[in-house]
A and B are shown apart, each in its own frame.
Chain A
Amino acid sequence: MTLSTPHSTEMSNEHIDLILRFSRRGLFILLLTFLWLGATVVGIAFWPNSVLAKWPAVVPWLFPVVMVLVMFALRIPLRGRWPSRSHKLKLILDDEFRRSNLARAQGAAFAVVVAAQVPLALLVLHLPARQAVIGMAGTTMSLGLVTLTALFLIFDRE
């Protein structure tokens, strides 16, 4: 086992912490995105005349523009040091704590999605078939993704 110098180890740890912070911020933005898109789908299914349902037709450029701006803002602290294939990124992705938290979040999200099916079916019962399908599918996906991301962020905190 070769040990690096204290200075290089310190630099490496700083960089890993930076990537971890970037990852958490990115996941938080992803959570907000899922909430935004989920609310839109729910709006289309349950309240087709609301602002929630109509914004994609009125300002179709809003979502991509916001996403691009957010991505640029997120990458500013990295100052171009994104380690696309570095061992640091592999270390973070293979990290045992991260993987166990992801597995716990996946299990819980699956349970929430399964448990939500009957209440959801009762909710869309009075809707026309097309809206009911959009409502069920959209709400299920949004609920699963929001639960997964939120629980992962909670479990993975220090």
Chain B
Amino acid sequence: MEERGLRNTLKVQRAIQNLTQAELAAIAGVTRKSVNAIETGRMVPSILLALKLARALRVTVDTIFNLDGGLPSTSADGTEPYAGLE
């Protein structure tokens, strides 16, 4: 059930924090199976779970989950995407 275009660095971030799958699962309040499924790309987590994992690893969500190839630097009509949002 791997979502095309979505990559995650959960395994790397977990290794940086020196946590096992079970330890991360306990902190985030899920089972080890969920962590394993996300790391192997078998499951795309909900926003809530992504936020919990990010908080457990003390990083932002987009440090763990990102789009393959990143976001376009310009939109189809040539304008800057997200302009005016800041």
Chain A residues packing against B (C-beta within 8 Å): 1, 3-4, 6, 9-10, 12-13, 16-17, 20, 91-92, 95-98, 100, 104, 156, 158
With contacts defined as CB atoms under 8 Å apart, how many contacts are there between chain A and chain B in the complex?
A: 50
Chain B, interface SS category? helix
Partner of A95, one of B1, B22, B27, B33: B33
Chain A, interface SS category? helix
Q: Which residues of B contact A91 (CB under 8 A)?
A: 29-31
Q: Which residues of A contact B29 (CB under 8 A)?
A: 91
The yes or no answer to B13 lying at the interface (CB within 8 A) is no
User: What is the bound-complex CA distance between A110 and B73, given in angstroms?
Assistant: 44
Q: Are B45 and A158 in contact (CB under 8 A)?
A: no
| A13, A17, A96: most-surrounded residue (chain B CB, <10 A) | A96
